[in-house]
Amino acid sequence: MVRCPLTRFEDLTSKDGVLLTHQNAVYHKNAIVALNNFQAAYVEHRELDIRSQLNQVRRCQVEENRAYLKPIVDTILTCTRQNIALREHRNETGSASADGVEPEHNDGNFRALLRHRIRGGDKDLESHANSARANATYQSADIQNALISVAGSLVKESVICRIKSAKFWSIIADETTDHQNREQLVVVVRYVQKGCKGKWFCFEDPVAVVEVYSLIKDAMPTAGSEVCLCGI
């Protein structure tokens, strides 16, 4: 009944019959125990297997990390949207205090806003500040710059998609200087799109800021070389 099919049906229930012998076999008893465990775990209590449990733990960890990262990203985007400086010159490291208490020195708007959120009852951010490892606070200057860069790329992709779907568009270029008197060229795309009520609206979205002198300097030929500058 295991390795070969049952073909002899006489004396099935006798003392030495096939059914009784099979029922008393160790592998049959182990199979019964495994079946009972399977029914208790998957049918009655709906438990997952080890692989599914590990995947579920990983999924919960991912969701938890996203919950920790959400208020940090929201604070960074709020500062960039309102043109608020994020950091002081000290470039502080580590996580903002979990109790929301302000430090003796000013450590920047970003960390102050994080503490403000904690005082306002943000439990996810408070839990992250309490349990975050030193190399996983998501609050360093590098992480701030990386998140700003990612957000800028997403905004640019969205603008490009709208421009591609527009029927009419044009390019506007204008120069300006920053606070360090560096000459910069701002490239703006002006386009029109039809709104939900059939009205046409005009949009002007910047797509690039080019530091003109640096670009020309990088394109200039080195001493002794002969390079055509017609493309500059």
Residue 196: per-residue pLDDT: 75
- The answer as to whether 13 is a domain residue is no
CB 95 within 8 A of CB 136: no
pLDDT (tens, 9 = 90+) of the chain, 232 residues, equals: 677 777 777 767 777 778 878 888 888 888 888 888 877 777 666 666 666 666 777 788 888 888 999 999 999 999 998 989 888 767 677 788 888 888 888 888 898 999 999 999 999 998 888 888 888 888 888 889 999 999 988 988 888 888 888 878 899 988 877 777 778 888 899 998 887 777 888 888 888 888 877 777 776 665 554 444 333 3
- The answer as to whether 93 is a domain residue is yes
> Is the CA virtual torsion 217, 223, 225, 226 positive or negative?
positive
Among 215, 149, 208, residue whose Cα is nearest residue 182: 215
Phi, psi of 193 (to 5 degrees): -140, 150
- Where in the sequence is the domain holding 92, given as residue range(s)? 52-145
Residue 200: per-residue pLDDT: 85
pTM of the full structure:
0.60
Are residues 122 and 84 part of one domain? yes
The domain tally of the chain equals: 2
Among 131, 132, 103, residue whose Cα is nearest residue 115: 103
Are residues 190 and 230 part of one domain? yes
- The answer as to whether 194 is a domain residue is yes
- The answer as to whether 25 is a domain residue is no
Are residues 141 and 56 part of one domain? yes
> How far apart, in whole angstroms, are the C-alpha atoms of residue 139 and residue 95?
6
Are residues 56 and 141 part of one domain? yes
DSSP-derived 3-state class of residue 177 = strand
Last residue of a domain, one of 115, 145, 175: 145
Are residues 138 and 63 part of one domain? yes
Residue 146: per-residue pLDDT: 92
Are residues 185 and 114 part of one domain? no
Are residues 222 and 172 part of one domain? yes
